[in-house]
Every structure is written in C-alpha cells, then in structure tokens.
Amino acid sequence: QVQMVESGGGVVQPGRSLRLSCAASGFALRDYGMHWVRQAPGKGLEWVAVIWYDGSKRYYADSVRGRFTISRDDSKSTLSLQMDSLRVEDTGVYYCVRDCYRMDVWGQGTTVAVSS
Amino acid sequence: EIVMTQSPLSSPVTLGQPASISCRSSQSLVHSDGNTYLSWLHQRPGQPPRLLFYKVSDRFSGVPDRFTGSGAGTDFTLKISRVEVEDVGIYYCMQATQYPSTFGQGTRLEIK
C-alpha cells in the first residue's frame, strides 16, 4: 500500500545539523511533488518546504530558508531534508507529505528536539 | 504570504448534530490554472493529519458523505451533517495555490 516512513529525527544542540529521510513505497515517487510539514508540541501545522515532481522547483518557508534544503532521490524512492543551524524553535514532529496540491498521504512523522 | 483564518477555534457539538467550520483566506485562492487549491485535513490525537477534501469540494477516498466541502474565492466551509464520535480532533484548512503554502490555526471539534 501507499506509505511514507520518516527517519533521522533525534535530540540535537542548537546550531548543529540533522538530516531527515522519507522512504516512499507503494507508488512512484518520481510522479509526485513532495512536502515537509512540521508541528511543534501542542501547536498547529506549519509548512516547511516543497520540491516539484521533477525537482525543477523548490520553495521554503521564511523561517527555514537558507538553513534547510529539500532534495529527492527517485532511484531510491527517498525524500530528504537537510537541516543546518538548528534552532530551539525547529523542535517538533516532521511529516513527509505527498502531492504538491492535495497533501493526500502523510507519513507518521519523525521527532526533532533542539535543546542545549 | 496568504493568511488562512479559521472559525470557530473550538466547537463543542452534540452527537448526531451538525457542525460547521469556516476558513477565510487573505486573498483569492484561484490559481492561474483555474483551480482553487484549498484542502481540509483532520487530525486525531497522536496521529498524523489525513486529507478530507482537496480543490475545495473533491472528497478524498474513504471520507464519509456526511462531510461536505464548499466555497469559492476567499470563503470556504467544512460541514458535518451529523457528528459522530470518530469526528473529534482538529480540523485544518490549507492552501497550496501560492507558496509558501499556509494552514489555518485549526479548529478543535469536541463532543459536548
């Protein structure tokens, strides 16, 4: 069945880096634009980044632009989020989400905690 | 950035009664391709969100027909004709017409 599984979360100090991965299965990743969306503890949803199905466009939230990089490897059916210069306010659950316009399938999420 | 404003933020509802959630955008959500990329999502405690509607009123697979999405331009509504226990949780509207994509604050639906 269609599924995405995130990994790579953990506890990290401010200023350090972390790389999240999302393994897609049950569909052809190359056919879909993909997002990262995050949710701080007890808060609402915050869109983070999107990459077009062919990698031709990438957009970022102002809060992460210049620090985070979204990428994809369709040969490995994997979406990634490189997170540099992490801040305390980047703490939360990070979801991998399918489809640029619908957000129709969500992973279970991976938790990132930025703390000294 | 398009700002999405939901109301109410909390909605206590009696089982079997209707519920309605409003979502307003700070500018029109009509895309240059003619589509309106407004989605509704539902999140139960401890779970990821799941899609209910996309392009305003297109019901996603498996969504019960007691749910209805409607609206146009800057005003959108999610309606539940008869609330059931499984409907509790937080409902979000989301726009993907213009990036950055943005979400509403969320509306918490609870049973009275």
Which one-letter DSSP state was computed for residue A29? G
pLDDT per residue as tens digits for the range A1-53? 999 999 999 999 999 999 999 999 999 999 999 999 999 999 999 999 999 99
Residues of chain A in contact with residue B54, where contact means CB-CB under 8 angstroms, are 101-104
Say whether pLDDT at A93 is over 90.
yes
Q: And the tokens for B39?
A: 């989605």
**Residue B52 backbone class (left: φ over 0; alpha: ψ -120 to 50; beta: rest):** alpha
Q: Do B54 and A61 touch (CB under 8 A)?
A: no
B55 vs B94: CA distance, rounded Å: 10
B20 vs A74: CA distance, rounded Å: 41
Q: And the tokens for A101?
A: 């316009």
pLDDT per residue as tens digits for the range B39-69? 999 999 999 999 999 999 999 999 999 999 9
- For chain A, percent of residues with pLDDT exceeding 90: 97
Amino acid making up residue B38: L
From A104, which residue of chain B is nearest by alpha-carbon distance?
B51
B69 vs B112: CA distance, rounded Å: 23
Q: Do B99 and A50 touch (CB under 8 A)?
A: yes
